[in-house]
Structure 1
């Protein structure tokens, strides 16, 4: 695959990753971050139709619409809760809205990159789909190294934080958490790269949505992030939409198998 395609994909995802972490400075909770990013499936379908002229079944469209409506419901619920707080200043509310705007941009960027990678895999890897995910995993990390050199201040602060923790009595505990995070991230990234070779960008988005569902549950359990009844309704809509989409994909695969048997 040409070098420029690796570079576009790598630096695009690096930018999305950095912006995705920056939005936490805008008073966005992790559940809102997770649920809003879950709308990437709808964005992927929209961009796929507009840019690549892809066609989707009614079940896929219905599932994506349901997920998007769920995201909107949760977002409105959270914004209503914030705007009704008497002690919150208008400046803080504007900061929250700005964070949501960045999150929309990140979601659209990742959706486009998923379609871009799907196109690259289809064009250049049609004959070697089984092992090419390792190549993509290697180059995407190799080319990402210079990107982090553009953030010396952040790297310095992280290093100083690690040094300060070395004097703590819980130093071994912190390192255990860091090691667990690195291992799980490795498994996650490797799995995503392998799935991206074998499936479409939209299906990959649905699989990642289910992963975010588990993250949402852990977040609410560990960090006591609560949601209003309207927010819970939106959450149910998001993951119900994922179920509708998955059922639609399964039905289409069954039809294709039946057609192949008849032929």
Structure 2
């Protein structure tokens, strides 16, 4: 039986349409991640150079702005007696699960931003945070009873060695002030705690998506930032000090011609930081909702490699040192090996379950 021509056209055009949709979607995601996140690393370095001990203030503004922007997508309009009013959508995931994730996300963000006050260079910060794979493997083995291939274990060992080498490359800051080594060690400890918190958050998020579906990424974005805002009351005194220091930064003119106002320079770079952070977070959450955590890790490590090059070569005009680049290369190679090992192992696991 012959198929009508109109039906053949529709069937033949379906695959290209789907392909174009997928490619355009992932094109947007990659643009948000590589454009937004790399720009955010640049803006973050400018912000921390101007006022290193402003981690709490920076985190508060980032969380507040993200919650406000995400609110738009979580509202729906209701009508009662011809009166329309907005209300929050019914959550697709129980709010108690978001509360747990909020605490972990808040701790991770605050620890990472606070570490800049302890002489941690941006280059080391980027490489160190790429070591989250080590924590993910350990937690996956202990909590989820996951098993890993020999290639994955060797790759994680390579990543660990790379993080250690890159961290030690800046273990002796150029300042000769007393306590600089202790400050650096404190910063490394904060980054280590942030990795641990981020690992727990990743596992908890995977369990949430596995149970309720990955389409709730926007809901996660909104509630994980909204519910964290009251936690900043625990740092009220430190926030007041940081606001005072931010207000004291050199003023810059913002405006067109004679129309404008002088603004403390810190708030200008902070606004740029927040804007790029919104783009970055949006891209990462979109990616997380569409692919596995393994693929997310690979994309983010490639992004961090780009941020590292921008930080060392472009922003600081330096060539880096052998230890830093060797450590960074080990992290990148180890990540690729880990990802490839996971892809090779997946079919074996599925065939056993079948």
TM (norm. structure 1) is 0.80
Partners of 2:250 and 2:264 within 8 A in 1? no
Aligned to 2:233: 149
Q: Distance in 1 between matches of 2:182 and 2:264?
A: 38
Partners of 2:246 and 2:264 within 8 A in 1? no
Are residues 121 and 152 of structure 1, via their aligned partners in 2, closer, same or farther at CA, if it must alter by over 3 Å?
same
Partners of 1:31 and 1:225 within 8 A in 2? no
Aligned to 1:247: 340
Q: Report how many aligned residue pairs link the two structures.
A: 250
TM-superposed deviation, 1:157? 4.8
TM-superposed deviation, 1:206? 3.3
Q: 1:28 aligns with which of 115, 120, 144?
A: 120
TM-superposed deviation, 1:139? 1.1
1:230 partnered with 2:327: no
Q: What does the per-residue CA deviation read over 1:232-255, in whole Å, with 9 as the maximum and x for residues that have no partner? A: 2111111111222333345557x5
TM-superposed deviation, 1:35? 0.8
Aligned to 1:93: 181
Aligned to 1:13: 105
Partners of 1:44 and 1:201 within 8 A in 2? no
Which structure has more strand as a fraction of its residues? 2
Partners of 1:41 and 1:202 within 8 A in 2? no
Q: What does the per-residue CA deviation read over 1:74-115, in whole Å, with 9 as the maximum and x for residues that have no partner? A: 122322x44xx7x73552212211221222111111111111
Which structure has more helix as a fraction of its residues? 1
Task: For residue 176 of structure 2, give the secondary structure of its aligned residue in structure 1.
Answer: coil
Q: Distance in 2 between matches of 1:54 and 1:4?
A: 26
TM-superposed deviation, 1:116? 1.2
Q: Distance in 1 between matches of 2:325 and 2:340?
A: 23
TM-superposed deviation, 1:44? 0.4
Relative contact order (C-alpha < 8 Å, sep 6+): which is higher? 1
RMSD of equivalent CA atoms = 3.1
Aligned to 1:108: 196
Q: 2:147 aligns with which of 47, 55, 68?
A: 55
TM-superposed deviation, 1:179? 4.5
Q: Distance in 2 between matches of 1:33 and 1:180?
A: 20
Q: Which runs of 4+ in 1 moved over 4 A?
A: 157-167, 170-179, 249-253
Aligned to 1:118: 206
Could you tell me which runs of 5 or more consecutive residues in structure 2 were left unpaired when the two chains were aligned: 1-92, 255-261
TM (norm. structure 2) is 0.62
Aligned to 1:207: 299
Partners of 1:133 and 1:197 within 8 A in 2? yes
Are residues 172 and 25 of structure 1, via their aligned partners in 2, closer, same or farther at CA, if it must alter by over 3 Å?
closer
Could you tell me which runs of 5 or more consecutive residues in structure 1 were left unpaired when the two chains were aligned: none
Q: Distance in 2 between matches of 1:179 and 1:78?
A: 29
Are residues 162 and 104 of structure 1, via their aligned partners in 2, closer, same or farther at CA, if it must alter by over 3 Å?
closer
Task: For residue 169 of structure 1, give the secondary structure of its aligned residue in structure 2.
Answer: strand
Q: What does the per-residue CA deviation read over 1:8-48, in whole Å, with 9 as the maximum and x for residues that have no partner? A: 11121111211111111211111111111111011101111
Partners of 1:115 and 1:201 within 8 A in 2? no
Task: For residue 151 of structure 1, give the secondary structure of its aligned residue in structure 2.
Answer: helix
Q: Distance in 2 between matches of 1:248 and 1:94?
A: 38
Partners of 2:104 and 2:200 within 8 A in 1? no
